[in-house]
Amino acid sequence: MEKERRDKLNQRFYALRSVVPYVSKMDKASLLADAVTYIGELKSKIETLTKKAESLHLIADDGASMTQSHLSTDCMVTESQVEVRIVGSQAVIRVQSSEVNHPAARLMDAMKNLEIKVHHASAANIGNLMIQDVVAQIPEGFPNDEGLLQTIILKYL
């Protein structure tokens, strides 16, 4: 029974060791200390990203009310569509929107505020439709979540 308990504990320590990126020593006490430090780092990253998302949400709300008043004057308004594909630390973003209120500038402003480094960007107008393609470097620590990035970009547009 004691052997089973020790085996179970050892398996859990192996599992913990596999998810903690940096383990200073191989003993259990160091592993636990490193895990606590890593969890603290993750919590601070979550807080930072949450604050950034909240500030982006506030900025997007201000921009949305302004955009709404400008958009109501145009007859041909299409809803913005955003596609995001993340591969490793690279993202490919495609935005289709009406050519109202400088969508290219708003997209680049979103990239700047999210601290996303743009490698390549192109924009094309087809009638009243603007299509933008962006290849960008996702910053370290940014969630690797296509849906989240898509939602944040939509808030800017």
CATH number of 76-156: 3.30.70.260
Query: Considering the entire predicted model, what is its pTM?
Result: 0.48
Higher pLDDT, 74 or 106: 106
Higher pLDDT, 42 or 61: 42
Averaged pLDDT, 89-104 = 85
Mean pLDDT, rounded, of the chain: 80
Delimit the domains of the chain by residue range: 1-73, 76-156
Q: Decide: residue 86, CB within 10 A, 0-12 exposed, 13-18 middle, 19+ buried.
A: middle
pLDDT(27) > 70: yes
Higher pLDDT, 40 or 156: 40
Q: Which of 97, 152, 156 is nearest to 124 (CA)?
A: 97
Higher pLDDT, 106 or 70: 106
Averaged pLDDT, 4-26 = 84
**pLDDT in the model for residue 61:** 55
**Chosen CATH of 1-73 out of 3.40.50, 1.10.1060, 4.10.280, 1.10.8:** 4.10.280
Across 2-11, 40-49, 142-151, least confident range: 142-151
Residue 157 and residue 155: Cα distance in Å, rounded? 6
**pLDDT in the model for residue 68:** 43
Q: pLDDT digits over 45-73, tens only? A: 888 888 887 777 666 555 544 444 444 43
Residue with tokens 């296509």: 146
